[in-house]
Structure 1
Amino acid sequence: MSHTAHIPSHRKPRRSASKLALRAGVAGGVLSTIAVAGAAGPASAEPVTETIEMPTLGSLGTDLSSAVAASAEASQQEALDQSLEAQEAAALQTAAKEAKKAKAEADRKAEAERAEKARQEAEAKAERERAEAEARAEAQARASRDSARTQLSTTSASSDSGSGSGSSNDSGSSAGSSSESTQVSSGTAASIVAFARAQVGDAYVTGGTGPNSWDCSGLVQAAYAAAGIDLPRISYQQSSMGTSVSLSNLQPGDVLYWGSRSGSYHVAIYVGGGKYVGAQNSSTGVVERSLDWDPPSGAVRLL
């Protein structure tokens, strides 16, 4: 161990440079004041005292820090301005792309609307032309039916006139009476069949009784009425009349029925050749069909 380890040092502590500079500034200021006072001499009534402040290291450090902070703030502001300009440029570019996309979409929609409008106009025109064609066809069919009905009326009148002449015949033979009866029946059946066929193409309407729309029993009733025979209005009432006949022994003018005889739900008129005329439904209207198309349940003869 050193012999001087516990001996305190008599050296004065070294002053820092900043303290020495501060004291030098203060001393310099005092000496300047004394010098000015001595130069003035004893003639001066009042001593002139002038204090000159010397810059210190502390103020220089503050100014330097302020300058560095100002430079950093300026750099930061410039970087911020550049960032804002870049964002504005990107926003303008994005807006331009969106506007271009919106315009293309608007053009596409406008083109689609024009195409749809053209399609609708074409469909409307085709529908008008179809309606006009149907109207012309219906007018021609109606004129044809009217002509057939006129001819039917003329034929019925001629048949009635022939029947009257036969009734005034004085022969009185049973053979002549039988022949006359057969002719009358044949003429009546022909009138019924002719009337039914004249309505082919008319519409089916529930409760329809003519002249251009029918239901099944309305058509049968009207056909028999044209031959001077009154029938009930309802289908099961019509099928309950007359005499039941086999489907293999049908004659023109017989009434066909579907369902039971006393509870039929549909009727039509047999027109010969294995066919019948009936007001079927709203889809087909009045049609002439083969018995095989919709075989009936039975038939009755009213003539």
Structure 2
Amino acid sequence: MSHTAHIPSHRKPRRSASKLALRAGVAGGVLSTIAVAGAAGPASAEPVTETIEMPTLGSLGTDLSSAVAASAEASQQEALDQSLEAQEAAALQTAAKEAKKAKAEADRKAEAERAEKARQEAEAKAERERAEAEARAEAQARASRDSARTQLTSTSASSSDSGSSSSGSSAGSSSESTQVSSGTAASIVAFARAQVGDAYVTGGTGPNSWDCSGLVQAAYAAAGIDLPRISYQQSSMGTSVSLSNLQPGDVLYWGSRSGSYHVAIYVGGGKYVGAQNSSTGVVERSLDWDPPSGAVRLL
């Protein structure tokens, strides 16, 4: 170890450059003030006794701190203002998007409502046109049936007059009777076919709605033949015939002969006319569509 190591240093602490500059500036300012005052006054002037206060280091630090604080506050306020402006801009943009979305949704709903209204109007128009077409068809069918009934009535009256005025031998009487029967069967068949398309109504006896026995009774009545009203009573009359030997005008029945629950009229060609049910009304169908149980001949 050096023999001078324990000797304390006599050097003064090194001052920072900023402090030295600050002190030099203050001293320079004081000297400049004194020199100006001395040069301005006359030689005989009284000595200057006014004391000039120079700023101290402490007041300079306070002013500097206030300036820094004010600058920081201003910067903070500016940053806050910018943040508020950004938030306002974002809120306006969001509101604009929401308004645009709401308008699009309103337009979509309005368009859907217009389309639905147009569809309903089209359906209503189609329904009206269909109803009018059905009404016209029904009127035409009714007129056709009325015409057929008028012709049947005339034919039946003519057949009756011919039968009442006939005379001659037994052979001639037999031939005339056969012709009357044929004419009667044709009248029955024509009347039954004229009702095809009419409605089925339980207990219906015409003129535009029928049940099965009501139609059979009316068809025979058009030919001048009285039948009971009930189906099993009708099928109990006349002579039983085979389904392979049917003739137009024969009464078909379903069930037993004395206990039938449904009747119809054979119209030839393997077909019959009957008031089936409320779904089909009066129809002309093949025997194969609903084969009967048996048949009776009343002519």
Q: Secondary structure at the match of 1:130?
A: helix
The 8 Å contact of residues 36 and 48 in structure 1, kept in 2 or not, is answered as no
What's the Cα RMSD here?
Answer: 6.3
Question: More displaced, 120-129 or 87-96?
Answer: 120-129
**For residues 101-144 of structure 1, what are the alpha-carbon distances to aligned partners after superposition, in whole Å with 9 as ceiling and x for unaligned?**
22222223322332333333333323322322222222121111
| 1-structure distance, mates of 2:40, 2:75 | 55
| 1-structure distance, mates of 2:34, 2:79 | 56
Deviation at 1:254, TM superposition (A): 1.0
Q: Secondary structure at the match of 2:102?
A: helix
**For residues 59-100 of structure 1, what are the alpha-carbon distances to aligned partners after superposition, in whole Å with 9 as ceiling and x for unaligned?**
998887777666555444433332222111111111111212
**For residues 134-188 of structure 1, what are the alpha-carbon distances to aligned partners after superposition, in whole Å with 9 as ceiling and x for unaligned?**
22222121111111100100011111xxx5665566x674434433433333232
Question: More displaced, 49-58 or 6-15?
Answer: 6-15
Distance 1:291 1:41, change over 3 A: closer
Question: More displaced, 95-104 or 74-83?
Answer: 74-83
Deviation at 1:274, TM superposition (A): 1.4
Q: Secondary structure at the match of 1:277?
A: strand
Distance 1:195 1:2, change over 3 A: same
Unpaired runs of at least 5, structure 1: none
Q: Which residue of 2 aligns with 1:152?
A: 152
Matched ranges for 1:118-133 at <5 A = 118-133=118-133
| 2-structure distance, mates of 1:186, 1:14 | 154
The 8 Å contact of residues 252 and 294 in structure 2, kept in 1 or not, is answered as yes
Give TM-score, length-normalised by structure 1.
0.70
The 8 Å contact of residues 37 and 49 in structure 1, kept in 2 or not, is answered as no
Question: More displaced, 208-217 or 57-66?
Answer: 57-66
Matched ranges for 1:86-165 at <5 A = 86-159=86-159, 163=160
Question: More displaced, 53-62 or 232-241?
Answer: 53-62
| 1-structure distance, mates of 2:36, 2:196 | 146
Distance 1:35 1:150, change over 3 A: closer
Q: Secondary structure at the match of 1:300?
A: strand
| 1-structure distance, mates of 2:164, 2:98 | 100
Percent identity for Structure 1 against Structure 2:
99
Deviation at 1:56, TM superposition (A): 11
Q: Secondary structure at the match of 2:296?
A: strand
Distance 1:76 1:12, change over 3 A: closer
| 2-structure distance, mates of 1:91, 1:116 | 37
Distance 1:167 1:136, change over 3 A: closer
Deviation at 1:28, TM superposition (A): 24
Distance 1:254 1:55, change over 3 A: same
Distance 1:125 1:33, change over 3 A: closer
Distance 1:31 1:251, change over 3 A: closer
Unpaired runs of at least 5, structure 2: none
Q: Secondary structure at the match of 1:51?
A: coil
| 2-structure distance, mates of 1:49, 1:240 | 162
Question: More displaced, 249-258 or 104-113?
Answer: 104-113
Question: More displaced, 178-187 or 12-21?
Answer: 12-21
Distance 1:148 1:40, change over 3 A: closer
The 8 Å contact of residues 33 and 49 in structure 1, kept in 2 or not, is answered as no
| 2-structure distance, mates of 1:130, 1:31 | 120
Q: Does 1:226 align with 2:231?
A: no
Distance 1:35 1:299, change over 3 A: same
**For residues 165-218 of structure 1, what are the alpha-carbon distances to aligned partners after superposition, in whole Å with 9 as ceiling and x for unaligned?**
65566x674434433433333232222111101111222233322111222222
Question: More displaced, 54-63 or 76-85?
Answer: 54-63
Q: Which residue of 2 aligns with 1:297?
A: 293
Distance 1:233 1:56, change over 3 A: farther
The structure 2 residue matched to 1:177, chosen from 173, 176, 180, is 173
Question: More displaced, 62-71 or 89-98?
Answer: 62-71
Q: Which residue of 2 aligns with 1:203?
A: 199
The 8 Å contact of residues 33 and 50 in structure 1, kept in 2 or not, is answered as no
Q: Secondary structure at the match of 2:168?
A: coil
Q: Secondary structure at the match of 1:270?
A: strand
Number of aligned residue pairs: give it.
Answer: 299
